[in-house]
Amino acid sequence: MSLYATEVNQLTAAWLRRTDGAGVLSGAGLWPLLAVLASSADGPGRAELAGAVGLSADESMDAARDVLKALADLDGVDAALGLWAQQAAQVRPEWRDTLPAGTFGELTGDSGVDQPVLDAWARERTHGLIERFPVQAGPELMLTLATALALRTTWQRTFSDESWRVTEGAWAGRRLAGLQRTTPDADDLRVADTDAGPVTLTRVSGDNGLDVHLVLGAPDAASGELLAAAVPLLAGDAGVTGGAALLESGDVDPWPGVTTVSAQRPGLVLKTARFTVRSQHDLLRHADVFGLRTVSRPDRGHFPAIGPVPLRVDQAKQAAVAIFSAVGFEAAAVTAIGLRAVSMPVHNARAIAVGYDRPFGFLAVHRDSGLVLFAGWVDAPDDWAPPAPGEQRQRPGAMRERLPRPGE
């Protein structure tokens, strides 16, 4: 069983290079759908989709099954596939049987009936984080294929909640919902020179093999280029320098956000802001990146393996959310592709320190494989609000308690 981390990360990086501004996305949620379509298409569209997937079309269906199964087996990750089709689409049973295991349902063509069913699936599969299925139901939606991806992790070392007044940069003058912690491993911080300029990454480790890497670049760095440049740094190549080496040399000035501070013992002082980021992506805006250019054209059908009715891609969308708090991180994405018929309408020791006090990025990563599950950019963090009298801050584990798994 393989996560195909290299191929998925390449798609994620290509997508990030096309983004502009704040948001969150999941290439891991999109990749299996493109792999299914690649194996089901013919003509130039088959080659374009295979190019986006990074594998031959002949091996893409097996790869899609492997990725969804491997994702679902990861601790803290839920992954699901859904397929719904009208009877008029005449889906071949033999094609459906090759799909990864998942939910299979029928579309009536009535949006008043179909949309609530699709929305309920999105809510259930993401523990309520995604309320609406991103593709719109209606008479022209002959078939929709979707993935739902959700992850949760609790920090190995939690943060303290505190008010943080920022004095410089894009957030100057704001009082943010600050998060701070000190940890002994300075190498949780890493720096590197990239095509997008100097990059600072700080790893925040979860308790179930999932990490979040906070990404900071120069103030004028483009968000998408910066995050794309950070993806290959997760492997820790020769160009990456750890925080311990920086602390020993004292040469911290070139690196975004990095300083040294007085501390009781060597380590890493991390300060950042609590955030919630939500995004809606129209994937057809970047159809060439995802291999969807040809298969969305209305001149002919592109998926003969699915059935005799000529079909083309009409909608391709993703809804995603990411929440970073004092106790942990949770994120979810529902990605859906809709097909329509072509013919139808003071201390002695020193510690390294980093402050994320202006717009920054993040990468949520499966630690062992390096697979990037979610990537995003923060330019609107939460403002500080003091607790009301008698109110208690969220304790570790509360996030898990309030988000039951499906069926509980």
pLDDT block averages, 10 residues each, the chain of length 408: 91 92 91 98 97 97 96 96 96 95 94 97 97 97 98 97 93 95 95 95 96 96 94 83 92 93 91 96 97 96 96 98 98 98 69 88 90 90 79 46 40
Provide the mean pLDDT of the chain: 91
Neighbouring CB atoms inside 10 A of 380's CB total: 13
| pLDDT for the residue numbered 390 | 62
Q: Where are the domains of the chain?
A: 5-153+276-341, 155-274+347-382+391-402
How many alpha carbons lie under 13 Å from residue 262 in its C-beta half-sphere?
3
| pLDDT for the residue numbered 346 | 53
pLDDT > 90 in the chain, percent = 80
Neighbouring CB atoms inside 10 A of 230's CB total: 28
Of residues 263, 271, 272, 274, the one with CA closest to residue 184: 263
| pTM of the predicted protein model | 0.88
Q: Name the token pair of 340.
A: 């329509």
Of residues 1, 3, 18, 4, the one with CA closest to residue 289: 18
Alpha-carbon distance 117 to 265, whole Å? 55
| pLDDT for the residue numbered 397 | 43
| pLDDT for the residue numbered 81 | 97
Contact 274, 179 (CB under 8 A): yes
- Residue found by looking up tokens 């900071």 in the block: 216
What CATH number was assigned to the domain covering residues 155-274+347-382+391-402?
Answer: 2.30.39.10
pLDDT, tens digit (0-9, with 9 covering 90-100), for 360-371: 888 899 999 999
| pLDDT for the residue numbered 400 | 40
Domain 5-153+276-341: homologous superfamily in CATH: Antithrombin, subunit I, domain 2 (3.30.497.10)
Helix H, strand E, coil C: the string for the chain is CCCCHHHHHHHHHHHHCCCCCCEEECHHHHHHHHHHHHHHCCHHHHHHHHHHHCCCHHHHHHHHHHHHHHHHHCCCEEEEEEEEEEHHHCCCHHHHCCCCCCEEEEECCCHHHHHHHHHHHHHHHCCCCCCCCCCCCCCCCCEEEEEEEEEEEEECCCCEEEEEECCCHHHCCCEEEEEEEEECCHHHEEEEEECCEEEEEEEEEECCCEEEEEEECCCCCCHHHHHHHHHHHHHCCCCCEEHHHHHHHCCCCCCCCEEEEECCCCCEEEEEECEEEEEEEEHHHHCCCCCCCHHHCCCCCCCCCCCCCCEEEEEEEEEEEEEECCCEEEEEEEEEEEEEECCCCCCCCEEEEEECCCCEEEEEEECCCCCEEEEEEECCCCECCCCCCCCCCCCCCHHHHHCCCCCC
Among left, alpha and beta (phi > 0; psi -120 to 50; other), residue 76 is left
| pLDDT for the residue numbered 349 | 75
